[in-house]
């Protein structure tokens, strides 16, 4: 792997900052991203791996599989390997990873190029709110909707549902919020998870302040009701680890 695309440990918030800027998916974040997300999001590895299993069940020949907000393409590659294992390299399926961070997409393109599977993949730098989706059997929003302004979330889900073939699916993974009582329990466990993964109290506090107005979590009920309003007929919560959960919405 070239030096340019080496991955590094997340040390972004190790030094005390006078003023913590709002979180963005810039080059500094892209170069530490795998370490950051693994140490910050309980269950991340499972949601990526199971996206491959779900894609293997729901992808149909000749359809598109979308990884929206793909970052470095972890879900794109999990889907690709699942289709490859199914013998789908010539079935006309195409996997399309989209992210509006140029730094993420440059790196993702590099990792896809290094990958040996042959199922076709496109990595695009674009805004998922603008991109014309079509012919979708499987779409992933793996910890992405939480970064979209709440008033734009229904329209995005409607566009995904409209582009989804009958029987196709959306995999939606999100940080959740809860009743005040449950929130206290879940927050403590999430903090323990971060501490156990080596983040200091300073790093945790500065990251929290950076992300405060950028990542806006919602309740499970809000997600399920909105997925149904958007046009999905069935919603199954297939996974939860502390305050992070993943839903399978079936058209
Ligand atoms: C993974 N899914 O590794 N258009 C395109 N991309 C966007 C937009 C937008 N409007 N808004 C945010 N993003 C990945 C992890 S990270 C989650 C997803 C996290 C992108 C943003 O640039 C970033 O790469 C990604 O959504 C969110 O499975 O960091 O907690």
- CATH node for 44-174+215-250: 3.40.50.150
- Protein residue closest via CA to atom 28 of ligand 1: 142
What is the number of the ligand 1 atom nearest to the C-alpha of 51? 28
pLDDT of residue 91: 85
CA-CA distance, 87 to 100, in Å (whole number)? 31
Contacts of 235 (CB under 8 A, 6+ apart): 223, 224, 227, 228, 247, 248, 249, 250
Residues of the chain falling short of pLDDT 50: 1-2
Between the CA of 85 and the centroid of ligand 1 the distance, in Å, is 27
- Protein residue closest via CA to atom 21 of ligand 1: 69
Q: At what angle do helices 27-40 and 102-114 cross, to 10 degrees?
A: 70
CA-CA distance, 190 to 197, in Å (whole number)? 11
pLDDT of residue 1: 42
Between the CA of 68 and the centroid of ligand 1 the distance, in Å, is 7
What is the number of the ligand 1 atom nearest to the C-alpha of 36? 29
pLDDT of residue 222: 98
CA angle 15, 17, 20 (to 5 degrees): 125
CA-CA distance, 31 to 120, in Å (whole number)? 25
Residues touching ligand 1 (Cβ under 6 Å) are: 25, 37, 48, 69-71, 74-75, 98-101, 104, 127-129, 142-144, 147-148
What is the number of the ligand 1 atom nearest to the C-alpha of 129? 10
- State pTM to two decimals: 0.96
The phi, psi pair for 97, rounded to 5°, reads -95, 130
User: Which residues are paired to 176 by β-bridges?
Assistant: 218
């Amino acid at each position: 792997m070239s030096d340019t695309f080496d991955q590094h440990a997340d040390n972004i918030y190790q030094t005390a900052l006078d003023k913590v800027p709002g979180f963005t998916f810039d080059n500094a974040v892209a170069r530490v991203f795998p370490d950051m997300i693994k140490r910050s999001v309980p269950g991340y590895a499972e949601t990526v791996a199971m996206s491959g299993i779900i894609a293997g069940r729901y992808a149909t020949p000749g359809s598109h599989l979308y990884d929206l907000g793909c970052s470095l393409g972890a879900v794109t590659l999990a889907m690709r390997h699942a289709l490859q294992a199914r013998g789908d390299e010539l079935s006309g399926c195409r996997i399309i990873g989209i992210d509006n961070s140029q730094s993420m997409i440059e790196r993702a393109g590099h990792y896809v190029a290094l990958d040996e599977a042959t199922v076709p993949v496109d990595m695009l730098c674009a805004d998922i709110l603008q991109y014309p989706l079509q012919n979708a059997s499987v779409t992933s929003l793996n910890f992405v909707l939480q970064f979209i302004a709440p008033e734009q979330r229904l329209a995005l889900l409607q566009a995904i549902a409209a582009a989804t073939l009958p029987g196709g699916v959306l995999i939606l993974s999100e940080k959740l919020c809860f009743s005040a009582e449950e929130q206290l329990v879940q927050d403590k466990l999430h903090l323990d998870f971060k501490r156990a993964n080596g983040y200091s109290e300073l790093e945790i506090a500065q990251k929290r302040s950076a992300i405060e107005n950028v990542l806006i979590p919602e309740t499970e009920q809000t997600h399920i009701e909105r997925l149904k309003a958007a046009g999905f007929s069935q919603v199954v919560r297939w996974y939860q680890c502390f305050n992070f959960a993943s839903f399978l919405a079936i058209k």
